[in-house]
Structure formats: structure tokens, C-alpha cells
Amino acid sequence: LKSKCSYKTYECYSNALKHLEVLHSMNIEDITAEKLQAVLDDMADKKYSFSAISKAKIFFGIVFKYAVLKKGFNAVNFLDAVKIPSTATKGSVHSPDDETILRIIKTAHSIDFGGFGASLYYLGVRRGELLALQKADVNLERRIIIIDKAVEFIGNQPHIKTTKSKAGERILPIT
């Protein structure tokens, strides 16, 4: 698995696998919707985030699909019957208020890496995408910035990779 996906995807799957540890000793045909639901409910009781619980469910779905397609396991997919508990904590993302935006603009030049933060904000790019920018990606004549790669850190080592998806490849106007 490690060689067939990106480092971050592998890391995500590894974390999901840890949550499903209680199912490791079971044969796949012995795992029921009720047993998987109990695992997800337990995660919610332990205050895991909605995202972590959802990823565990998705990962189990991948394992289940693999068992059906590659190993000939014959069963009905019961994942639709398994629900993310309503008690799972959901984080929220808020846009900064006008005062915060002004503070970023005014202090960006005087703070180490302040320009980096301001660039992230103004360009609307991910950290890895900004770190991967090269001179050839900026065309001042056409007034565009091409986003088509990102830096991924494996351990402390940076590696250039393609964007997360084709939709992540984009051309930004310089205004």
C-alpha cells in the first residue's frame, strides 16, 4: 500500500487503520454494520472529530471493496447503514474579519515569514503549492501564476509532487 499512494494518503490510511484495530482479528465476513457502527460510536465517545470518524468509515469501505473485487468475498455492502454519529465534533472554518486582514497586511513586512502568510491569503493557495512555486511559474508579461505542483514533506524532507487533483491545477491572475 505504501508504494501505491502518496505519503499523506498512506498516513491518513494508517490513522484510520488504528481506529479499526478492534476489527483486525475478525474475518471480514464476520464484520457487520452493527460492529462497525459500534467502532464509530466509540470514536465519537472519545471525542474524535467528524473528519477522523468519516475517514475510518471510508477506509473500511475501501477494504470491503477490495475484499469483494480482489478476493472474491461475496457480500452486500452495508456501509450505507452505518452512520457518522451525530455527537462527532465538527470543526468550523471562518474567514478572517476585516480587522485581522488589515493587521496581516500592516505587519507582513515586519514579521519573519509574514510575506508568506500574506501570499497564502491573497493567492488562495495551499502552503505546499506556494512553496513549490518557481520562477517559470510566474509570467509577468501575461500577468499569471501557474499552480501545477506542490511540496510534500515526508519526515522533514521536501518533495515536489503534482497537485492533489487536476482541479488543483489552475492559473491565477496577477492583478
* pLDDT tens per residue across span 87-132: 888 876 677 788 887 887 777 666 666 677 778 877 888 889 999 9
Read off the C-alpha cell for 16.
484510520
Cβ–Cβ under 8 Å, residues 138 and 163? no
Query: Within the chain, which residues score under 70 in pLDDT?
Result: 1-4, 74-75, 92-93, 108-114
Let me know: does 152 contact 8? Beta carbons within 8 Å.
Answer: yes
Is the full-model pTM beyond 0.85? no
Alpha helices in the chain (DSSP H): 7-19, 33-45, 50-71, 98-107, 114-123, 127-132
* pLDDT for the residue numbered 115: 74
- pLDDT of the residue at 3: 61
